[in-house]
Structure 1
């Protein structure tokens, strides 16, 4: 028989089997059993329905890692509405674009970030604005907890859903202009959570610490996988090393995720304390990391001194994200720790290939470079409102595969290793930054003649944006002026952290900047060149 694969299945299983188990620990330590989580989800669903939210409507959320992020996701999906998590580091203009692009009906925002929504309220499509702890927000916001308190503790009349209906829209960082809305159906989210469960080794006694932002691909799918398996979500609003290690000890955390910058910050805290800090509770800890691989020294410190186990994965917003992992005990036994600096091999029921310009598989020699393409049930349905970009993404070099834009090699064991980024994305502290977007901002300055933005090594962030600028004749720019200029136009994390002024940029005969030449001198002393400083 066929049964629809729905995101709502995960909460339903948790309540059926683990209703008396602590499902969520809020940032302030308040504990909610899965039965209590479901009660709050039902009451929020009543409240959203009263605001006019129904099947196919969009609910946008701007919040850190909180219990009400999880509640809003499930309440929205149970109503048949579409969940749109937004990056809380974006500027008002960037948030305005997303709210209008997805045609959100309701915006829910945390008190720490609602200030970036208030200036755009009159210009966006949303009609209702709900604030968590609204009394701490300037402006007229409906209070989240008050809305819940006013609703009955009964299950709403939820619609019968199809697995092919839209469940969420996750926005990319905008590689060639405006961000793209990645539309994910109930089926793609459900399937990805099952794959995640397998390769992250998730169990019902896991205590999962939220150091990874929940807005990233719905927390890489852990909002579903941890819930459905019956584990416990331990919420931490934003990452800080001291708070992280305290929660690891207090809540006996067994699993978490974090970009390489998270690992580096934990190591720095550990070293500043001369190792005099508890790193675990009673159980072993594993930590999944993605994006640019950690440096070998980072892996050694985490695994040898912290006694944690690193799982490295790879993927994109469009792929849920996980499509490869180096978490292979068999290969690790054969090849050792060096395997963990590769992006790994394809995950269960996923077809990952590295192909040349003609769409043919490159040799499995660990040296020939091609583009990573993928086909799997966890891959996105489409880009919102962008049919031509969707068509191109699935048919560029080879028909029917999503084209990642990442250039890589593949070895005899099927292990993929990224060599370059086709679209010049910079991954800094786990955040994707479009070099093109930053360059466009630089070109708005009247004294900038030419500009290129490239990644350079950073001990703190893995890699960070550097602007290489050619000034107009007679100009006298300073590094601080250039950086501040970009910060006035884009989210702060996208701004260059350093600027070099040069007489000219290396270009091809057709005028294209040869960024690989610029990158080379900054990465020549590093183990790997791309985002792995």
Structure 2
């Protein structure tokens, strides 16, 4: 028989089987069972309906990783409203665009970020504004807790799995952000895939280090809840706080972008904290390939098991994993070469690497093409952008989402990202992977973080330039010279891949999810040029 796949099933299951088990450790100190979490979500649902919110209306949530986000998300989806999470690091102008573009009717905003909405509320179609601390917010805002006092009776509408239930806006690295539409079916199957490949169990304790607004925190608001595991909430991330939470709450699983792993390694080197409580720890990383040095530290010194996964907002996000244990031995250093790859496709996910004509490149681990993907977790399309949707699914090959990432693929079907199409360095006619150069520099003991981009060159058209965050954090006293880093990388790479320029910086620009914004570096580097590609 056919049973529709609905996102409301996840909280329903947890309430049925784990009602008296602890569901959430709140940032405010409270601890809620699944029965209590469900009751609070019901009350938010009732409050929305009482104020006229109907199935299909967009409800935005602007919140760090707190229990309010979980309650508002499930409360919205239970009445069929479209959950529209917002990146709390955006500007008021960004919020104006998104609220207007999505036609948001109601917004819940954490007290720390509500002023960004208040600044544009007269310019957007939003009618309802609610926060968790109205006394701390300027303007006329309703009280979240007062909303919950109205009761828990609501009518859950009939929903189908092909209806849009979430709109996630892209990071907007170029132009305005695009609203990625995701259906009940997309979200549900992605959560199933996470549960399988990330090995989620009902006794897992998940630490919220990845923003919940990021494709619903890689789908974990569904997967963790549906499995009956425990959410440990945060109000932002700092390395000391992560180590403290891991040990105090016996965390068994969390996500960390490579930049977060770097922060953890630096903190560990300086403070030597305990790295685990009563449970073994699994950590998933994505965004860019972690250098082998990072994997070594996380696994050999921290004692954690690292899973490298890959995807994009449009793809669910997760579509591949390097956690292919038949290809490596846990006790061998050979595992690092496998784990730094993006890996194999998730179950039910078709990954291809194709050339400009849409033909599959040779699976030799050397030929480069664009990664394209088909899978049930891939987005429905972009909100009110049919042309962009058509282009995303038909550029090189029809019916596949085109990631814009360039990769190789080996004989086992394991991909390894080499660069973004727009970030690859073409110097003197030779294609150079910035990731390979970054990986080489990461091996130097004075390097804490690094991004390599093409820099204008009269001789070569483009030449590799490295922006380096030194270990001590002070670009004026990096502990190594530019020439020393150039020579260090030259010793490890083919001569044509040599890094020719180095600039020490205090930090690298990143998205809210920890991805380095190379585009910002490129814009600054090419500001005096007519175009952002080399003409050598």
Give me the TM-score of the superposition, normalised by structure 1: 0.81
1:125-180 CA distance string (max 9 Å, x none): 1011111111111111101111112x2134x1111110011110000122442110
Residue 231 of structure 2: which of 206, 230, 233 is its match? 233
State how 1:309-328 maps to structure 2 within 5 Å.
309-328=305-324
State how 1:302-381 maps to structure 2 within 5 Å.
302-333=298-329, 335-381=334-380
Q: For the structure 1 residues 132 and 355, does the alpha-carbon distance in structure 2 shift closer, same or farther, using more than 3 Å as the test?
A: same
Q: For the structure 1 residues 514 and 67, does the alpha-carbon distance in structure 2 shift closer, same or farther, using more than 3 Å as the test?
A: same
Inter-partner Cα distance in structure 2 for 1:111 and 1:255: 28
SS of aligned partner of 1:105: strand
SS of aligned partner of 2:123: coil
Residue 186 of structure 1: which of 184, 187, 196 is its match? 184
Inter-partner Cα distance in structure 2 for 1:158 and 1:260: 41
Q: Which residue of 2 aligns with 1:168?
A: 166
SS of aligned partner of 1:108: strand
Inter-partner Cα distance in structure 1 for 2:324 and 2:527: 49
1:5-43 CA distance string (max 9 Å, x none): 000110011011101111111013311000000100000
1:455 offset after TM fit, Å?
Answer: 7.8
Q: For the structure 1 residues 131 and 503, does the alpha-carbon distance in structure 2 shift closer, same or farther, using more than 3 Å as the test?
A: closer
1:226-271 CA distance string (max 9 Å, x none): 0000100000111011221111111110000010111111111111
SS of aligned partner of 1:418: strand
SS of aligned partner of 1:162: coil
SS of aligned partner of 1:352: strand
1:71-105 CA distance string (max 9 Å, x none): 11111111111000010000000111000000000
Inter-partner Cα distance in structure 2 for 1:216 and 1:76: 17
Determine if the alignment matches structure 1 residue 133 to structure 2 residue 108.
no
State how 1:70-149 maps to structure 2 within 5 Å.
70-149=70-149
Inter-partner Cα distance in structure 2 for 1:136 and 1:302: 40
Inter-partner Cα distance in structure 1 for 2:241 and 2:381: 38
Inter-partner Cα distance in structure 1 for 2:236 and 2:399: 38
Inter-partner Cα distance in structure 2 for 1:113 and 1:135: 13
Q: For the structure 1 residues 170 and 243, does the alpha-carbon distance in structure 2 shift closer, same or farther, using more than 3 Å as the test?
A: same
Q: Which residue of 2 aligns with 1:267?
A: 265
Q: Which residue of 1 aligns with 2:12?
A: 12
Q: Which residue of 2 aligns with 1:216?
A: 214
Inter-partner Cα distance in structure 1 for 2:348 and 2:284: 20
Assess if the C-alpha contact under 8 Å between 2:14 and 2:228 holds in 1: yes
Determine if the alignment matches structure 1 residue 30 to structure 2 residue 30.
yes
Q: Give structure 1 stretches of 5+ with no counterpart.
A: 436-451, 461-478, 488-492, 506-510, 518-533
Q: Which residue of 2 aligns with 1:522?
A: none
Inter-partner Cα distance in structure 2 for 1:301 and 1:343: 19
Residue 255 of structure 2: which of 247, 254, 257 is its match? 257
Assess if the C-alpha contact under 8 Å between 1:454 and 1:515 holds in 2: no
Q: For the structure 1 residues 417 and 503, does the alpha-carbon distance in structure 2 shift closer, same or farther, using more than 3 Å as the test?
A: closer
Inter-partner Cα distance in structure 1 for 2:283 and 2:251: 10
1:424 offset after TM fit, Å?
Answer: 4.3
SS of aligned partner of 1:324: strand
1:456 offset after TM fit, Å?
Answer: 3.8
Q: Please identify, of 221-230 and 328-337, the stretch whose mean Cα deviation from structure 2 is larger.
A: 328-337
Q: Which residue of 2 aligns with 1:521?
A: none
Assess if the C-alpha contact under 8 Å between 2:131 and 2:144 holds in 1: yes
Q: For the structure 1 residues 502 and 132, does the alpha-carbon distance in structure 2 shift closer, same or farther, using more than 3 Å as the test?
A: closer
Q: For the structure 1 residues 501 and 124, does the alpha-carbon distance in structure 2 shift closer, same or farther, using more than 3 Å as the test?
A: closer
Q: Which residue of 1 aligns with 2:246?
A: 248
Inter-partner Cα distance in structure 2 for 1:163 and 1:243: 39
Assess if the C-alpha contact under 8 Å between 1:15 and 1:38 holds in 2: yes
Inter-partner Cα distance in structure 1 for 2:289 and 2:66: 27
* Aligned-CA RMSD value: 2.9
1:283 offset after TM fit, Å?
Answer: 1.1
1:419 offset after TM fit, Å?
Answer: 1.0
Q: Which residue of 2 aligns with 1:514?
A: 533
Determine if the alignment matches structure 1 residue 199 to structure 2 residue 197.
yes
Inter-partner Cα distance in structure 1 for 2:62 and 2:326: 41
Q: Give structure 2 stretches of 5+ with no counterpart.
A: 425-433, 439-450, 454-462, 472-502, 511-515
Inter-partner Cα distance in structure 2 for 1:390 and 1:258: 30
Q: For the structure 1 residues 35 and 301, does the alpha-carbon distance in structure 2 shift closer, same or farther, using more than 3 Å as the test?
A: same
SS of aligned partner of 2:73: helix
Q: Which residue of 2 aligns with 1:407?
A: 406
Assess if the C-alpha contact under 8 Å between 1:175 and 1:423 holds in 2: no
Assess if the C-alpha contact under 8 Å between 1:170 and 1:317 holds in 2: yes
Q: For the structure 1 residues 459 and 391, does the alpha-carbon distance in structure 2 shift closer, same or farther, using more than 3 Å as the test?
A: farther
Inter-partner Cα distance in structure 2 for 1:165 and 1:502: 43
Inter-partner Cα distance in structure 1 for 2:254 and 2:37: 21
Q: Which residue of 1 aligns with 2:59?
A: 59
Q: For the structure 1 residues 370 and 503, does the alpha-carbon distance in structure 2 shift closer, same or farther, using more than 3 Å as the test?
A: closer
Assess if the C-alpha contact under 8 Å between 1:352 and 1:372 holds in 2: yes
1:501 offset after TM fit, Å?
Answer: 7.2
Q: Which residue of 2 aligns with 1:292?
A: 288
